[in-house]
Structure 1
Amino acid sequence: MRHELAPKAATDADQARFVLAAACDLNGCLRGKRVEATALEKLRSGGMRMPMSALGVDIWGTDSPGLMQKGDLDGICEPTGRGPLPLMWTATPAQLLPMWMRYEDGRPYLGDPRRMLAAVLDRYAAQSLTPMVATELEFYLIRPDTPRPAPLVPVPPGHPGARDTIYSLDELADVGPFLDDVYRMADGCGVAVDAAVSESGPSQFEFNLKHAADALRVADDTLYFKQIVKSMARKHGFAASFMAKPYPAHAGNGLHVHFSLLDDAGCNLFDNGGPEGTALMRQAVAGLVAAMPDCTAIFAPHLNSYRRLCPGTLAPTAAAWGFENRTAALRIPGGPTAARRIEHRVAGADANPYLVLAAVLAAALDGIDRKDEPPPPTSGPSLDPGTARLPSDWRSALTRFANSATVARLFHPELITAFLACKHQEVAVFDRDISDLEYTSYLHSV
């Protein structure tokens, strides 16, 4: 199926007539204001006022009463130092000015996910450690005019997994103009993108973002890249979805994190010259394994997320690790020892990249600080009966998150309170809904 290009929109920053000044909320959505481009310098110097509760709204954008007990205070959104960026997903040329929130007295508001990640990185800096981080992001291209997801190319009849076309060059060629525009816009925004591949699902793709010794920038880039993909999909007449599991019979969308640790000299502290890595790496693995079940709500933050984390797929269901083992939640990739790193494979593409990196890096540092030892590595999908399982549903994950002493060590109370208020409100909405399946099953049969 061919898709004709829409007319090319203006993308140069100097053509923008207004600025979208926005911060990232707990669900990874941008929240902010549209202001005239002439006000850009004023925003840079003084920021703008916005309710602190705006970063804790639910997935539908509804305020959470749990965050408004103090009269819905204003915070100050100030520029992050990045931008303005030519993220042109609007019909009228615009620029994005990335913001983050603080209190009026200057203290960072740690219910802001970007501020929470910065606080975790401060812990690393205090020990003269620098995380080297990269992300991999999966998504589906779908038709824009159907109530349920439909791939660009119809799935042929056959077995439930038909039309799985992993690493298909034909699929890459079919959407070549779209991919070209994604690379072009990413370059204009300073987002360092590496390889693109066709993934296993129909019209499913993955992009690798390049490693950087700046985890905050990598989280920024991951957030912006999702906007770039969605924008360019609209331009080409289709849509892009980062929903964790849009098709029951096909692969879910993941957000994989690769990271190592550098010392002041830029040396990889996970590299001991051999395949097994250093004691420091194993301590980081131990912290990640220990924290994983309690932090699953961060990696799988939505009702649909748990349809991806199911047995029999490459999405993990247990807190296990292994060398070159893609069935494990934590994989130690092979290759040159200088690139020895940990791949964290739990998060879905629907997760907030700031919170994912905050959870991963905070847990790794916790294991290092405690000098923990991990359980034995696994070499295949079979797991020891004693291996900790990840929560299998949304409510269980939120309960573990709320009651966890580990979570209390890793995250500031402001973040924990805001996240739980947001998620409990979303759970309540789904609980009140009567699904089509319920009506089909019960309306005329009982």
Structure 2
Amino acid sequence: MSWLEENPHIRTIRVAAADLNGIARGKRVPTRFAQKVETDGTRFPLSVLNLDIWGEDIDDSPLVFESGDPDGVLRPTERGFVPMPWLGSPTALLPLWMYRESGAPFDGDPRHALARVQARARDMGLTPVVATEMEFYLVDDSGKDIRVPPSPRSGKRRPGAEVLSLRALDAWDIFFTDLYDACEAMDIPADTAISEAGLGQFELNLVHQPDALKAADDAWLFKLLVKGLARKHGFAASFMAKPYPDYAGNGMHMHFSMLDKDGRNIFDDGGARGTDALRHAIAGCLQAVPGSSILFAPHGNSYDRLVPDAHAPTGLCWAYENRTSAIRVPGGAPVARRIEHRVAGGDVNPYLMVAGILGAALNGLEDGAEPPDPITGNAYDLDLPQMPSDWGSAIDAFEASPEIARIFPEELIRNLVLTKRQELHYYRELSETEKVDLYLDTV
């Protein structure tokens, strides 16, 4: 029996794929025609996965007028149907990814980019194990300026940040209870939730997965869910990198380890130091950060987060148990030895972020690369190599990076560069209010 037959209450279907900005692009389909999409797929122009943040065509893209704006064929991912509990009518989403007419994967699809990295790891006899930490703000955007919404419990607005406060969590208990129920229904492995350092900011961890595609799917679907569910509750949720100038930005930290063909963690040496493979992977990640910064900070607002003393890394370094570093090796049992990559903001495309980090680690493992010595103390006080500090420099570094050329297909690199240069051009014309309005809901 199919999923739709098991869920006859579903009244409408959405079919969608992630574009380069992680925005869901798709169609609404009557339920009675959904099985045809499930079996045969559907068609969008290839250029739909290469729109800018406003949903506009890229002016000089070879996917549009130069080639006649041809269609791609979108087929369901292995995820299958998932409910969309934030909508008023019983609705399900069928996630898709894009292929060319020939049946070959479309190299401009970010999910295919991650599948390519995962296949590379498999060819090396490795299985990445991936988890993400999802930070977001709950906001009232009904007025001229955004602010924290009134608590459904007390009707009051919480005046400041309360790190790890049960009172702050309890104030939003109805929302978080609905969120956990929805994650269960959507097979998103939601774990611990905490209040964070910002005004109305929270973090929810997604449990590690021995399938990088599943982990990225979870993060992408979680962002759709949180934003949609917040609107259902009468406020907004935002993964924007820096919604408030005076409070911490939203990050999306990624934890990962690598299992060999026997299921053993190749970073575990039985002690706190970790193996040579751990250091090779760290070295690969550090070497790739300048070129991959556009994956971790993809928007104009992203660079407001990457400033000293703001709970986000700026210098290229690594350390054991040190949250001021870009790459952190957490403590705990050696069997769980892993790398925490702390650079990405909450506004990223999860598929490109995960692909960029894992691909860089594989580069380091292939090369036997050695990192600098781990730092101690406050990374902000040290004289360290810096990642690109502005959007334009990050775009240029991505285009020219030899590390990126080993990770991503040429077509995706070209498409992303064209997209980001167009966005940068028009972003310069916006007021500060327009910049917030642009990113608050979209990313």
TM-score (norm: length of structure 2): 0.92
Whether the 8 Å contact between 1:78 and 1:99 is mirrored in structure 2 is yes
Change (3 A) 1:79 1:281: same
What is the CA distance between 1:130 and its match in structure 2? Answer: 0.2
Point out the more displaced range, 167-176 or 419-428: 419-428
Report the equivalent of 1:441. none
1:97-116 counterparts in 2 under 5 A?
97-116=94-113
Higher alpha-carbon deviation: 143-152 or 45-54: 143-152
Structure 2: distance between partners of 1:280 and 1:128: 13
Q: Tell me the residue number matched to 1:276.
A: 273
Q: How does 1:26-425 map to 2 (within 5 A)?
A: 26-67=20-61, 68=64, 69-153=66-150, 163-382=160-379, 387-425=384-422
In the TM superposition, what whole-angstrom CA distance separates every residue of 1:347-378 from its partner, at most 9, and x where no partner exists? 00000000000000000000000000001111
AA paired with 2:99?
R
Q: CA RMSD in A?
A: 1.8
CA distance, structure 2, for counterparts of residue 342 and residue 148 of structure 1 = 38
- Separation of aligned partners in 1, 2:431 and 2:137: 27
Change (3 A) 1:403 1:384: farther
Separation in structure 2 between the aligned mates of residue 18 and residue 66 of structure 1, nearest angstrom: 36
Asked whether the 8 Å contact 1:47–1:77 carries over to 2, the reply is yes
Runs of 5+ unmatched residues, structure 2: 1-5, 152-158, 435-443
Give 1:231 shift: 2.0
In 2: Cα distance, 1:383 partner to 1:432 partner: 32
Distance 2:167 2:37 in 1: 46
Distance 1:268 1:198 in 2: 31
Displacement of 1:211 after TM fit? Answer: 0.5
| Residue 24 of structure 1, aligned match among 11, 18, 27 | 18
User: How far apart, in 1, do the equivalents of 2:415 and 2:353 lie?
Assistant: 16
Q: Residue 19 of structure 1 contacts residue 40 of structure 1 at CA under 8 Å; is this kept in 2?
A: yes
Tell me, in whole angstroms, the C-alpha distance in 2 between the residues paired with 1:41 and 1:390: 47
Aligned length: 420
CA spacing shift, 1:214–1:435, aligned 2, 3 Å: closer
Post-superposition offset of 1:28: 0.8
CA distance in 2, matches of 1:140, 1:436: 17
The 8 Å contact of residues 153 and 203 in structure 1, kept in 2 or not, is answered as no
What residue identity is the alignment partner of 1:28? G
CA distance change for structure 1 residues 176 and 296 in 2, over 3 Å: closer, same or farther? same
The residue identity in structure 1 corresponding to 2:37 is L
After superposition, the Cα gap between the structure-2 partners of 1:382 and 1:259, relative to the gap in structure 1 and judged at 3 Å, is closer
Q: Deviations over 1:155-193 (max 9, x none)?
A: xxxxxxx71210011000000010000000000011111
Task: Give the match's secondary structure for 2:67.
Answer: coil
The one-letter code of the counterpart of 2:194 is V
Cα deviation code 1:104-128 (max 9, x no counterpart): 1110011100000000101001011
Given that 1:245 and 1:253 are in contact with CA atoms closer than 8 Å, whether structure 2 keeps it comes out as yes
Question: 1:3 maps to which residue?
Answer: none
Q: Unaligned 5+ residue runs, structure 1?
A: 1-11, 155-161, 438-446
Q: 1:365 to 1:38 in 2, by over 3 A?
A: same
SS in 2 for 1:432: coil
TM value normalised by structure 1? 0.91
Give 3-state SS (helix, strand or coil) of 1:19's partner: strand
Partner SS, residue 96 of structure 2? strand
Match of 1:432 in 2: 429
Which SS does the other structure have where 1:293 is aligned? Answer: helix
Q: Which amino acid aligns with 1:88?
A: P
Using the TM superposition, give the Cα deviation of residue 434 of structure 1 relative to its aligned residue in structure 2, in angstroms. Answer: 5.6
Secondary structure of the equivalent of 2:73? strand
Deviates more, 1:226-235 or 1:28-37: 226-235
Is residue 309–residue 315 contact of structure 1 (8 Å, CA) maintained in 2?
A: yes
* Pairwise CA distance, 1:383: 6.3
Q: How many angstroms apart in 2 are the aligned matches of 1:383 and 1:251?
A: 15
Letter in 2 for 1:422: T
- Contact kept, 8 Å, 1:131 with 1:262, in 2: the verdict is yes
Cα distance in 2 for partners of 1:192, 1:221 equals 8
Deviation at 1:83, TM superposition (A): 2.3
Q: Determine helix, strand or coil for the equivalent of 2:229.
A: helix
Pick closer, same or farther for the CA change 1:131–1:238 going to 2, 3 Å: same
Q: For 1:431 and 1:383, how far apart are their aligned partners in 2?
A: 29
| Letter aligned with residue 20 of structure 1 | R
Shift of 1:205: 0.3
